């Protein structure tokens, strides 16, 4: 709150005036938000929401705009329910970000791009995006008024949910485009006694480094493909894996409500259960494709899930 | 405790609950429920043979349920008086204890709860506090992960008389832990649960760390903290000693505790704030230092004793600085953590102080009170005519009014604190308050509105908060409108509707109705009574189509001098915006309505005289001196 109505408006005042930025001064720097968030561990060592709040309070405007924290926060709100001062931290960061965009700063993130020659203007990407980054524009092409999707690079967090949802394959992001992932699926798998398993793992669902080591500890028959969010999973990728001779597909995402990209895990859940229903209609439902949601406290659960899946696939093979 | 039990003037009533409290300072009547122990106090010699014979085992609450106790038990080995007790919820009536007791014949299964009345002069509340249940914070995994324990459980595990005879072991595999983490502020300083600092947790976590370090020097101990608070004498030096002994202190509130399912080792995720880096460390055991919170039945005790509670639920003291051991009810005193989280030295100090305060009452034959008590004009009270009323009885925050239909209401002077709630609430003006009579206050209103009343703002201030706020505004040199005329009453509950109507009838430009914030009220619920009345008034003025802002309700504490100045300046702005002719027209328009509402005031004893005196005063001051 502004104690002196006649004082000029400061940077902190401007942040406070944006909805979400109100409780700025309540922060007592306990560090809960920093350790609850996985961005510092996984992406950017300089990422620190607590420090961004300090930068705003200390009127360090330029530094706040240039800080990676401003741009990397995906608004998952894991920190919000944990904050002892009930500060909506992603709201404050969002306020700083919108001021930065006003000042002409741009997001340093890898964002998605739309290939207009393929885009049909169906607006599915507009519906699935958690960040309202894509929107439709109208353009005259060859004398015909046509609709295209356009992505606001300052809003896009690069989760790839839209990439997986685009029916024409018009959206891509470096590293997670369809071709990038398909290239990692082997063309043909040699049949052995042991069942083979394809694991699509969301990078955020495994908090501990020890869990990542578990993934690497499995032999050849368990193949791992890292995706930025389970929402990036396209049922076709699962089908493609099965066609190449892999016995089963396991998709790992975060627990609902803990998704790094807000609703990616829910989107993935919908897609995999849709695939399940499809298999059911074709009398093929035998648990070959499974979606698991791993919570922040489920240390070591990935090993259990993979072992269970392998056991299940072995029993399927024996039946055959 | 043993000393207390031996003292000729001290009687300890163990396993007894207070059921009811009547009377007032010096003359309390207390109803006690002496619960059935099923053991005769005068025969039991505390030998413990009954416990040995008893075949039933239930969790021992004193040992934090880490060990069993028998159905025939004493709460702890140092219990005073050392008399056994049979837990009827657990007893299977095998009567082996009766056999074991033998010739003493101390066990009596036919015993029943007894209700007794006692006369007491003063009451000291020392009901203590309880602990926050850390399983409400799912991130820390208490009750899901066996090796996450609370500070009280650690206290028992580390006690030579405890269930493990002082051998610190992990609950999961009974091995000695080598790496321990203590997490401070679990549930305290946390807006989701309890916003306060629990005062002593920093010190006991350092104490536990030092104790463990002495017993197991190779043990690795880390304390996760937000701030270490060591404000008393010798505390900071103790903190230094812990660091010298090699206890690690990490500033950073852990956000998550995870567990390895096989080893049951725990991983604490926290940011080391000084490094700005997230760290994940492995521990054998994690101890949570929970918040100190009011007893779960604090509300029941509070209504039983008629003492108010602070916003957090602790018992409220009479004055935070000057009378921290007195409750708002005379003759009831507070000692220890029932008033707020406190460590042992502070509790002992407050306990001794409360005993001294209580002794003052017991030693004197007379009790001095403030002279501002309420007084009933019996001939005016409608209850005496057999009409149903009792409004004063319901308004009194102290239960100081005795009311029975057919008899005039009666004020128990010793209980009255002089808030004036009954005086203002009485619809027939049958009660008055000494030194704050209607006549006196009305005379003041007349005096301040004697000349150019439309320019004046009459500010009713409560003695304890808004008056202090106005005082602070003055001593801090905050500028506010010179048209303000402040009138002091003891509580916002005394601000009678008649006063406000009379002020507007006389043509006041504005009226401010100010008092304490609800939780700060000096008279328990006085502010609530005042606030309800003020809201009713505001609605009435809205219906009369008075310009909004001329009547204003504000709750201003003694520390809010700036707010007092701001509110009055805002009221002045409202008056400045209305053209003078319009304001005068509005006053004239409303005058008949106001007249109607105060028509019965003149019959109140003293008011007529006050009016005449005011007129005389007006003649002297306004017409002759000012001219």
Domain ranges in chain B are 36-112, 130-293, 369-435, 436-626
Distance from CA of B190 to the nearest CA of A (A): 4
Give the start-end residues of each E strand in B220-341: 220-225, 248-251, 256-259, 266-272, 277-283, 285-290, 292-294, 332-334
- Between CA A196 and CA A99 the distance in angstroms is 50
**Residue B610 contacts residue B443 (beta carbons within 8 Å):** yes
pLDDT at B619 > cutoff 80: no
Q: How far is CA B263 from CA B28, B117, B173, B175, B283, in A?
A: 60, 58, 9, 12, 11
**Candidate from B141, B258, B273 with C-beta closest to A29:** B273
Contact between B273 and A51 using a beta-carbon 8 Å cutoff: no
Contact between B278 and A208 using a beta-carbon 8 Å cutoff: no
Contact between A34 and B260 using a beta-carbon 8 Å cutoff: no
Strand B114-120 relative to strand B28-34: parallel, antiparallel, unpaired? Answer: antiparallel
Q: Which residue of B has its CA nearest to A28?
A: B226
Distance from CA of B50 to the nearest CA of A (A): 47
pLDDT at A215 > cutoff 70: yes
Chain A residues with CB under 8 Å of B560 CB are none
* Candidate CATH numbers 3.40.50.720, 1.10.150.20, 3.30.70.1050, 3.30.70.20; the one for domain B369-435: 3.30.70.20
pLDDT at B86 > cutoff 60: yes
Q: Which residue of A has its CA nearest to B257?
A: A297
Q: Which residue of A has its CA nearest to B562?
A: A3
Q: Which residue of B has its CA nearest to A48?
A: B276
Chain A residues with CB under 8 Å of B135 CB are none
Interface test with A, best of B187, B263, B272, B273 (most A CBs within 10 A): B273
Distance from CA of B268 to the nearest CA of A (A): 10
Please report the number of interchain residue pairs, chain A to chain B, with beta-carbon separation below 8 angstroms: 82
Distance from CA of B452 to the nearest CA of A (A): 32
CATH topology for A175-319 is Rossmann fold (3.40.50)
Model confidence pLDDT, tens digit, residues B505-544: 999 999 999 999 988 888 888 999 999 999 999 999 999 9
pLDDT at B383 > cutoff 60: yes
- Banded pLDDT at B275 (limits 50, 70, 90): very high
- Banded pLDDT at A1 (limits 50, 70, 90): very low
CATH topology for A11-102 is Fumarate Reductase Iron-sulfur Protein; Chain B, domain 2 (1.10.1060)
Using a pLDDT cut of 90, give the percent of chain A over it.
Answer: 65
| Averaged pLDDT, A247-263 | 93
**Residue B514 contacts residue B556 (beta carbons within 8 Å):** yes
CA A253 to chain centre: 9
Model confidence pLDDT, tens digit, residues B592-612: 999 999 988 888 888 888 888
Interface test with A, best of B278, B281, B283 (most A CBs within 10 A): B278
Of B302, B306, B323, B322, nearest to B314 by C-alpha is B302
**Candidate from B141, B189, B252 with C-beta closest to A84:** B189
Estimate the crossing angle of helix B497-505 against helix B438-448, to 10 degrees.
Answer: 30
Contact between A35 and B262 using a beta-carbon 8 Å cutoff: no
Secondary structure (3-state) at B389:
coil
The rounded mean pLDDT for chain A is 90
Distance from CA of A232 to the nearest CA of B (A): 27
Q: Which residue of A has its CA nearest to B269?
A: A35
Q: Given phi > 0 = left and psi -120 to 50 = alpha, else beta, which region is B384?
A: alpha
Chain B residues with CB under 8 Å of A300 CB are 260-262
- The ranges assigned to domains in chain A are 11-102, 109-172, 175-319
ipTM score above 0.85: yes
Distance from CA of B267 to the nearest CA of A (A): 9
Give the start-end residues of each E strand in B71-219: 72-73, 85-86, 114-120, 123-125, 129-131, 148-150, 179-186
Model confidence pLDDT, tens digit, residues B164-176: 998 999 999 999 9
pLDDT at residue B615 in the model: 80
Q: Which residue of B has its CA nearest to A82?
A: B255
- Between CA A173 and CA A167 the distance in angstroms is 16
**Residue B550 contacts residue B509 (beta carbons within 8 Å):** yes
Beta bridge pairs of residue B460: B487, B513
pLDDT at residue B626 in the model: 64
- Between CA B455 and CA B166 the distance in angstroms is 77
Interface test with A, best of B256, B275, B573 (most A CBs within 10 A): B256
Contact between B271 and A51 using a beta-carbon 8 Å cutoff: no
Which tokens in the block code for residue B466? 């808004």
Residues belonging to chain B with any Cβ–Cβ distance to chain A shorter than 8 Å: 138-139, 141, 185, 189-192, 226-227, 251-262, 267, 269-273, 276-280
pLDDT at residue A286 in the model: 84
**Candidate from B192, B269, B276 with C-beta closest to A48:** B276
Neighbour-count burial of B279, counting CB atoms closer than 10 A to its CB (0-12 exposed, 13-18 middle, 19+ buried): middle
**Candidate from B190, B261, B269 with C-beta closest to A300:** B261
Model confidence pLDDT, tens digit, residues B358-374: 999 999 888 888 899 99
**Candidate from A31, A41, A86 with C-beta closest to B192:** A86
pLDDT at residue B622 in the model: 66
Residues belonging to chain A with any Cβ–Cβ distance to chain B shorter than 8 Å: 28-36, 40-41, 45, 48, 50-51, 79, 81-82, 84-86, 207-209, 296-297, 299-300
**Candidate from A32, A51, A85 with C-beta closest to B191:** A85
* Element (DSSP H or E) covering residue A66: helix A61-66
Domain A109-172 = CATH 1.10.10.1800? no
Of B559, B571, B553, nearest to B473 by C-alpha is B559
Q: How far is CA A40 from CA A43, A215, B57, B400, B446, in A?
A: 6, 21, 51, 63, 70
Contact between B260 and A85 using a beta-carbon 8 Å cutoff: no
Distance from CA of B275 to the nearest CA of A (A): 11
- Long-range CB contacts for residues A8-16, cutoff 8 Å, separation at least 24: A10/A59, A11/A56, A11/A59, A11/A61, A11/A64, A11/A99, A12/A56, A12/A57, A12/A59, A14/A99, A15/A56, A15/A92, A15/A95, A15/A96, A15/A99, A16/A95
Domain B36-112 and domain B369-435 have a common topology: yes
Contact between A299 and B259 using a beta-carbon 8 Å cutoff: yes
Of A128, A249, A142, A136, nearest to A185 by C-alpha is A249
Of A174-188, A225-239, B144-158, B246-260, the range with the lowest mean pLDDT is A174-188
Architecture per CATH, domain B36-112, reads as 2-Layer Sandwich (3.30)
Supply the Cα-derived Rg of chain B in whole angstroms. 32
pLDDT at A318 > cutoff 80: no
pLDDT at A3 > cutoff 90: no
Q: Which of A274-278, B182-186, B596-600 has the highest mean pLDDT?
A: B182-186
| Averaged pLDDT, A162-185 | 89
Model confidence pLDDT, tens digit, residues B456-465: 999 999 999 9
Contact between B256 and A86 using a beta-carbon 8 Å cutoff: no
Q: Which residue of A has its CA nearest to B190?
A: A84
pLDDT at A250 > cutoff 60: yes
* Candidate CATH numbers 3.40.50.300, 3.50.50.60, 1.10.287.980, 3.20.20.10; the one for domain B130-293: 3.50.50.60
Chain A residues with CB under 8 Å of B266 CB are none
Distance from CA of A96 to the nearest CA of B (A): 20
Q: Which residues of B563-599 are buried (b: 16+ CB within 10 A; e: fewer)?
A: bbbbbbeebbebbeebeeeebeebbeebeebbeebbe
**Candidate from B192, B259, B269 with C-beta closest to A35:** B269
pLDDT at B623 > cutoff 80: no
Chain A residues with CB under 8 Å of B283 CB are none
End-to-end, the C-alpha distance of chain A in Å comes to 70
**Candidate from B141, B189, B252 with C-beta closest to A35:** B252
- Banded pLDDT at A2 (limits 50, 70, 90): very low
CA angle B555-B559-B565, nearest 5°?
65
Distance from CA of A288 to the nearest CA of B (A): 27
Which tokens in the block code for residue B464? 């304890």
């Amino acid at each position: 709150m502004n104690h002196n109505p006649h004082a000029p408006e400061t940077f902190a005042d401007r942040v406070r005036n944006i909805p979400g930025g109100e409780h700025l001064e309540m922060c007592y720097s306990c560090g809960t938000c920093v350790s609850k968030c996985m961005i510092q561990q996984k992406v950017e060592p300089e990422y620190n929401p607590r420090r961004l709040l300090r930068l705003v309070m200390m009127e360090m405007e330029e530094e706040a705009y240039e800080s990676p924290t401003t741009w990397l926060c995906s608004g998952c709100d894991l920190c919000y329910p944990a904050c002892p001062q009930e500060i909506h931290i992603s709201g404050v960061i969002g306020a700083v970000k919108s001021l930065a965009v006003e000042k002409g700063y741009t997001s340093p993130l890898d964002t998605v791009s739309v290939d207009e020659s393929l885009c049909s203007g169906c607006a599915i990407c507009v519906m699935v995006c958690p960040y309202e980054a894509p929107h439709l524009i109208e353009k005259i092409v060859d004398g015909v008024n046509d609709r295209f999707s356009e992505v606001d690079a300052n809003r896009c967090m690069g989760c790839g949910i839209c990439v997986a949802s685009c029916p024409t394959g018009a959206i891509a992001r470096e590293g997670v485009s369809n071709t990038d992932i398909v290239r990692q699926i082997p063309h043909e798998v040699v049949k052995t006694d042991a069942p083979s398993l394809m694991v699509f793992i969301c990078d955020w669902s495994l908090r501990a480094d020890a869990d990542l080591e578990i993934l690497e500890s499995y032999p050849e028959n368990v193949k791992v493909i890292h995706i930025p969010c389970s929402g990036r999973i396209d049922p076709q990728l699962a089908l493609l894996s099965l066609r190449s001779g892999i016995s089963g597909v396991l998709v790992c995402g975060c627990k609902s409500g803990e998704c790094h990209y807000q609703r990616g895990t829910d989107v993935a859940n919908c897609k995999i259960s849709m695939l399940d229903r499809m298999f059911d209609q074709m009398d093929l439902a035998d648990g070959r494709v499974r979606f698991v949601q791993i919570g922040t406290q489920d240390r070591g659960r990935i090993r259990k899930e993979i072992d269970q899946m392998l056991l299940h696939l072995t029993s399927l093979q024996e039946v055959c | 405790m043993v000393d207390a039990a031996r003292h000729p003037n001290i009687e300890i009533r163990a396993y007894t609950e207070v059921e009811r409290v009547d009377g007032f300072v010096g003359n309390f009547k207390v109803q006690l429920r002496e619960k059935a122990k099923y053991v005769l106090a005068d025969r039991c010699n505390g030998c413990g043979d009954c416990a040995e014979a008893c075949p039933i085992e239930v969790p021992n609450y004193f040992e934090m349920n880490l060990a069993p106790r028998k159905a025939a038990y004493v709460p702890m080995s140092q219990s005073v008086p050392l008399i056994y007790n049979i837990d009827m919820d657990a007893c299977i009536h095998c009567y082996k204890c009766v056999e074991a007791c033998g010739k003493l014949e101390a066990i009596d299964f036919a015993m029943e709860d007894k209700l007794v009345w006692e006369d007491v002069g003063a009451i000291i509340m020392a009901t203590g506090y309880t602990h926050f249940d850390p399983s409400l914070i799912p991130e820390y995994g208490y009750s899901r992960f066996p090796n996450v324990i609370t500070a009280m459980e650690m206290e028992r595990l580390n006690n030579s008389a405890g269930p493990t005879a002082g051998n610190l072991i992990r609950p999961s595999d009974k091995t000695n832990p080598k790496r321990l983490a203590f997490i401070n502020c679990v549930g305290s300083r946390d807006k989701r649960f309890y916003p306060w600092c629990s005062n002593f947790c920093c010190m006991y976590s350092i104490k536990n760390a030092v104790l463990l370090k002495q017993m197991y020097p190779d043990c690795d101990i880390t304390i996760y903290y937000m701030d270490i608070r060591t404000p008393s004498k010798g505390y900071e030096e103790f903190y230094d000693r812990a660091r010298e002994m090699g206890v690690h202190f990490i500033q950073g509130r852990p956000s998550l505790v995870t567990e390895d399912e096989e080893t049951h080792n725990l991983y604490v995720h926290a940011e080391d704030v000084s490094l700005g880096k997230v760290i994940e460390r492995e521990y054998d055991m994690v101890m949570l230092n929970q918040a100190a919170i009011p007893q779960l039945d604090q509300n029941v005790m509070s209504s039983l004793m008629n003492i108010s509670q602070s916003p957090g639920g602790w018992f409220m003291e009479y004055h935070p600085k000057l009378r921290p051991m007195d409750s708002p009810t005379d003759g009831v005193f507070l000692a220890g953590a029932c008033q707020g989280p406190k460590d042992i030295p502070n509790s002992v100090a407050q306990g001794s102080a409360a005993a001294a305060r209580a002794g003052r009452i017991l030693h004197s034959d007379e009790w001095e009170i403030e002279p501002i008590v309420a007084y009933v004009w019996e001939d005016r009270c409608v209850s005496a005519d057999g009409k149903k009323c009792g409004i004063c009885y319901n308004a009194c925050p102290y239960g100081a009014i005795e009311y029975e239909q057919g008899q005039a209401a009666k004020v128990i002077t010793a209980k009255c604190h002089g808030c004036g709630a009954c005086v203002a609430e009485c619809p027939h003006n049958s009660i008055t308050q000494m030194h704050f009579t209607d006549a006196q206050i009305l005379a003041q209103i007349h005096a301040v509105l004697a000349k150019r009343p439309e320019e004046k703002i009459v500010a009713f201030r409560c003695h304890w908060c808004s008056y202090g706020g106005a005082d602070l505004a003055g001593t801090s040199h905050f500028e506010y409108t010179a048209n303000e005329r402040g009138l002091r009453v003891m509580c916002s509950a005394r601000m009678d509707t008649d006063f406000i109507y009379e002020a507007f009838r006389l043509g006041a430009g504005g009226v401010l109705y100010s008092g304490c914030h609800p939780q700060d009220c000096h008279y328990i619920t006085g502010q609530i009574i005042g606030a309800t009345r003020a809201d009713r008034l505001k609605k009435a003025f809205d219906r009369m189509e008075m310009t909004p802002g001329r009547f204003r309700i504000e709750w201003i504490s003694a520390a809010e001098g700036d707010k007092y100045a701001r509110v009055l300046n805002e009221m002045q702005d409202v008056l400045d915006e209305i053209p003078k002719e319009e304001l005068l027209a509005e006053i004239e328009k409303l005058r008949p309505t106001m007249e109607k509402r105060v028509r019965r005031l003149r019959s109140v004893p003293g008011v007529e005289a006050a009016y005449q005196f005011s007129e005389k005063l007006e003649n002297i001051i306004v017409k002759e001196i000012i001219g």
